[in-house]
Structure 1
Amino acid sequence: MKWSEASKGIMVEAVRSAGRNDITGRAAQLAYYFFLSLFPAMILVAASLGILAGEGPKLRDELLGGLGTVLPETSFALVRDSFTQIVKSSNNGGLFTFGALAALWSATAGVSAVQDALNSVYEVTEGRPYWKRSLIAILLTLSFLVLALAAGAATLLGAYLPHLLASTKLSAAASLTWHAAEWVVILFLLSMIFAVTYYLGPDVEQPKWRWITPGAGVGILTWIGASLAFRIYLHHFDSYTKTYGSIGAVMILLLWLYVSGLALLFGAEINSAAENQSAKQGNPDAKEKGEKVPG
């Protein structure tokens, strides 16, 4: 079978399976949990800034600047204003502890919803013990936190590099090089988030660890493309804010989170369809739909 024919078959099967498994409904559920996780995470980050650097306006602006490249403008304004208010009252350890616990709880609940959604994609039922499932959810949550911090560190380093190299003749070239490398690093970390989620999330035996999968590639490109298209559309045709006022920003944020969940789940559908096709062609290490282990 030619590569183009195989790719077309995988895409067709993934689209059909996505409709059968109702990933649009699952994505709506994920958007709800992502939204619940967002503000406790903001409290955690804001409290960290308050403890480490007072209100840290410069550091805060650099962190938010990276977020502003993907969030729709009106939603970014909502997050920025909320984050700024939280930072102003974050100079105490109690808020840090509350933020850490709330962020861990809500994010873990969100990851559990991701596990259920991925099981639906692979058309299997959850069979892992509660303790194992919960442990995996916590590990995934902590992995996301580490990767998010790494992405934030890359963004901050890119912002401060020109100041560090201002006294050298290589400052402009080094800064330009780093800004290009910064996006490579962020894309790599994003692919890691997809890879870890697809590997540990569903209750199926995965053949082997892979840094990048067809589904991760499709999911990342879909997410980036949808985010950019969303920003462009809202920049020119921002009817939500005009119609709904301030609540429109919340609606747009939820819609963006919904699109993000949809990209994640459709990428999983691509991986599942590719493995299903491989199994039907006789690959002993591949699984068909509904199977937890090969064969």
Structure 2
Amino acid sequence: MPAGRAGILAALDLCVASSAVEKQPITESLGGRPRATEGRPHAGNKVKRFVVGLARELVNDNITDVGAMMAYYAILALFPMLVFVVTLALLVLPDDVVLQGLAMATEAMPPATAEVVTTQVVSLMKAAHTGFAIGSAALALWGASRGASSLMGALNAMFNKQETRPWWRRQVIAIAVTFGVAIVVVLALGLLVAGPVAGHWLADRFGLGSMFDTAWGIGRWAGAGLLVMVVWAVLYKFLPDTNAPFRIFTPGAIVGVLLWLGISYGFRLYLGHFNSYEATYGALGGGIIFLTWLWLSNIAILFGAEINDVLADVRRETSPAAAMLAHESEFKAETEHQAAQKAEDRAAQKADDKTAQKAEDRAVRDGR
């Protein structure tokens, strides 16, 4: 047999094996079981993958340090955001509605933080009537968007995404998201005016009496929770460099909002019973409390993002398409291994035949 023939046969074996894998459907696993039942993900496997994956991502992404970094940028962006929102709100709403919305918004905050925010908003409302805040609204929007920019980088880290968008596009997205969030807040404040008016009109028309007051007392807080969910959905959709669809109700957003509310009220209770910040930091105690609350809030946002990211990974890893791809890859690897083994055996046999032929030729020459 010619020397190069073994190599040609080996190459043909590999080509045939690859063609068989690509052109013929694989109906059985390597163990002989139907492929429909091989590798089918179980609920227990999904839960285990999720828990292990979430723990790994929380450690690797170091959300506590990232949350601390975001708190610094958030405190720089918060007051420009207040300037812009108050200016926008006072263009269409009376002062008492803004103050009513402010009282609801600061309900979950620690008292020291609520006092800082309330004092600043009241001061901004006075300045807005003098025309000062209106003139600085555009500058305030730019300053507020810096907080969105810092969150953009943090969410990219949580979703394990490399930023590919150009600088100008990132700035446009940050400004647009900040403007959109401000509009949502103003619309929510408007509902504080329109809601009771429309509700009492409907209650009188259909003879519901005082039932609306009870429903409104519960419904406005449910609406506030929905508002927070919408804001978080906007942040998760547009800030990171992903192609994820826009969904208001995602597991990460729901858990994140509930965690944020729990952390806020828990921190509020802690300060009410064990507040040592003022004794430790003196006049800086209120600022330290505010910064700590921002840090905890950022952790809740990042935790929700981690949940969405890990769930997406689990769905991809346990999907039927992933199982099919894994089995096809396994079958292809096994087939290629068998073909390579045959080629190796053929080459070894060729070498043995050649050695035997040489020995036979040598014996013939010696006999002569």
Quick check: TM above 0.5? yes
Given that 1:41 and 1:103 are in contact with CA atoms closer than 8 Å, whether structure 2 keeps it comes out as: yes
Structure 2 segments unaligned to the other structure (5+ residues): 1-40, 323-368
Give the aligned residue type for 1:44: F
Identity %: 31
Q: Counterpart in 2 of 1:213? A: 250
Given that 2:97 and 2:189 are in contact with CA atoms closer than 8 Å, whether structure 1 keeps it comes out as: no
List per-residue Cα deviations over 1:215-241 (Å, max 9, x = no partner): 111111111111111111111222112
Give the aligned residue type for 2:84: L
Q: Counterpart in 1 of 2:82? A: 42
Q: Counterpart in 1 of 2:113? A: 75
Change beyond 3 A, Cα 1:269–1:205: same
Q: Counterpart in 1 of 2:186? A: 149
Change beyond 3 A, Cα 1:92–1:247: same
Shift of 1:127: 0.8
Shift of 1:106: 2.0
Shift of 1:3: 4.1
Shift of 1:47: 4.3
* Aligned mates of 2:188, 2:51 — CA distance in 1: 31
Shift of 1:166: 11
RMSD: 2.8
Structure 1 segments unaligned to the other structure (5+ residues): 286-295
- Alignment match of 2:152 (pick from 108, 115, 118): 115
Give the aligned residue type for 2:58: A
Q: Counterpart in 2 of 1:184? A: 222
Residue 63 of structure 2 is aligned to residue 26 of structure 1 = no
* Aligned mates of 2:179, 2:125 — CA distance in 1: 23
Give the aligned residue type for 2:123: Q
Query: Normalising to structure 1: TM-score of the pair?
Result: 0.83
Given that 1:30 and 1:113 are in contact with CA atoms closer than 8 Å, whether structure 2 keeps it comes out as: yes
Residue 125 of structure 2 is aligned to residue 87 of structure 1 = yes
List per-residue Cα deviations over 1:160-206 (Å, max 9, x = no partner): 78998999974532111112221222222211112121122211222
Given that 2:77 and 2:144 are in contact with CA atoms closer than 8 Å, whether structure 1 keeps it comes out as: yes
Give the aligned residue type for 1:280: E
- Alignment match of 1:194 (pick from 209, 225, 232): 232
Q: Counterpart in 2 of 1:237? A: 274
Give secondary structure in 2 for the equivalent of 1:87: helix
* Aligned mates of 1:53, 1:269 — CA distance in 2: 38
CA radius of gyration, larger in: 2
Give the aligned residue type for 1:10: F
Give the aligned residue type for 1:213: T
Aligned length: 281
Give secondary structure in 1 for the equivalent of 2:248: coil
Change beyond 3 A, Cα 1:128–1:48: closer
Give secondary structure in 1 for the equivalent of 2:128: coil
Given that 2:203 and 2:212 are in contact with CA atoms closer than 8 Å, whether structure 1 keeps it comes out as: no
Shift of 1:67: 2.0
- Alignment match of 2:170 (pick from 128, 133, 151): 133
Change beyond 3 A, Cα 1:144–1:50: closer
